[in-house]
């Protein structure tokens, strides 16, 4: 009736994740669709997106036939893009997960400066949340864990006690198994 066809069910839910600063400049953007292939098109889209969203409090907007949920924090804007017939709540859960995992990782300092300092981790986070448009994980704690586990080579002195203990436990376990 209302819409003529329900599109074929697919796991490809997310069409893009974008992080902009409060001047509309791109910090990080990943597009999982074919609509914006050139950098120029992407920048134009981000510009119009920024113009429509930087004033209001964060929630949801319809632009260029995309449903976009967004959220701003201090000097950053986070966007998750989906198609118009997508479940807005599902997109929002991805956005929340992105924000919460970054917040855990940056110890609540979700600001432009800290984001730049940990850009490698932020990129990993994006990859852990979404794999080519498929939602990979929705639990911010798990994501933060997975991303931060890679920092094995922090000097011993800077590790927390639990980290050291965990490390030792692993070592012993593996040596016993051998």
Q: Which residues pair with 31 in a beta bridge?
A: 16
| Minimum distance, C-beta of residue 88 to another protein, in the bound complex (Å) | 4
Of positions 5, 34, 38, 175, contacts another protein by CB under 8 A = 5
Of the candidate spans 20-28, 37-45, 60-68, 160-168, the one that interacts with another protein by CB under 8 A turns out to be 60-68
Look up tokens 């600001």; give the residue. 111
Question: Given candidates 41, 44, 85, 117, which one binds another protein under the rule CB under 8 A?
Answer: 85
Q: Tell which residue, 33, 10, 27, 57, has the closest CA to residue 123.
A: 27
Judged by CB under 8 A, which of 43, 61, 111, 118 binds another protein? 61
Any contact of residue 131 with another protein (CB under 8 A)?
yes
Residue 23 CA to residue 162 CA, distance in Å, equals 40
Q: What are phi and psi of 21, to 5 degrees?
A: -95, 180
Choose the stretch contacting another protein; rule: CB under 8 A; options: 15-23, 39-47, 104-112, 144-152. Answer: 144-152
Give the residue from 55, 101, 63, 99 showing the smallest Cα distance to 81. Answer: 63
Q: Is 35 in the site for another protein (CB under 8 A)?
A: no
- Residue-wise DSSP of 136-153: ----HHHHHHHHHTT-TT
Whole-angstrom distance between the N-terminal and C-terminal Cα of the chain? 64
List contacts with another protein (CB under 8 A): 1-6, 8-11, 52, 56-57, 59-65, 69, 84-85, 87-90, 92-93, 127, 131-132, 134-138, 142, 146, 149-150, 174
């Amino acid at each position: 009736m209302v819409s003529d066809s329900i599109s074929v069910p697919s796991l490809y839910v997310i069409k893009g994740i974008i992080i902009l600063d409060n001047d509309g400049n791109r910090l990080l953007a990943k597009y999982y669709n074919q609509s914006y292939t050139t950098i120029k098109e992407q920048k134009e889209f981000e510009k119009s997106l920024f113009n429509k969203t930087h004033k209001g409090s964060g929630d949801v907007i319809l632009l260029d036939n995309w449903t976009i949920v967004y959220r701003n924090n201090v000097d950053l804007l986070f966007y998750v893009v989906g198609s118009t017939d997508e479940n807005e709540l599902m997109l929002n859960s991805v956005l929340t997960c992105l924000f919460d995992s970054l917040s855990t990782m940056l110890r609540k300092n979700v600001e432009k400066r800290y984001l730049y300092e940990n850009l490698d981790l932020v990129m990993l986070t994006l990859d852990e949340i979404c794999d080519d448009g498929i939602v990979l994980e929705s639990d911010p704690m798990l994501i933060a864990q997975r991303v931060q586990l890679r920092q094995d080579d922090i000097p011993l002195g800077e590790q927390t006690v639990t980290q050291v203990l965990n490390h030792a436990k692993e070592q012993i376990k593996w040596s016993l198994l051998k």
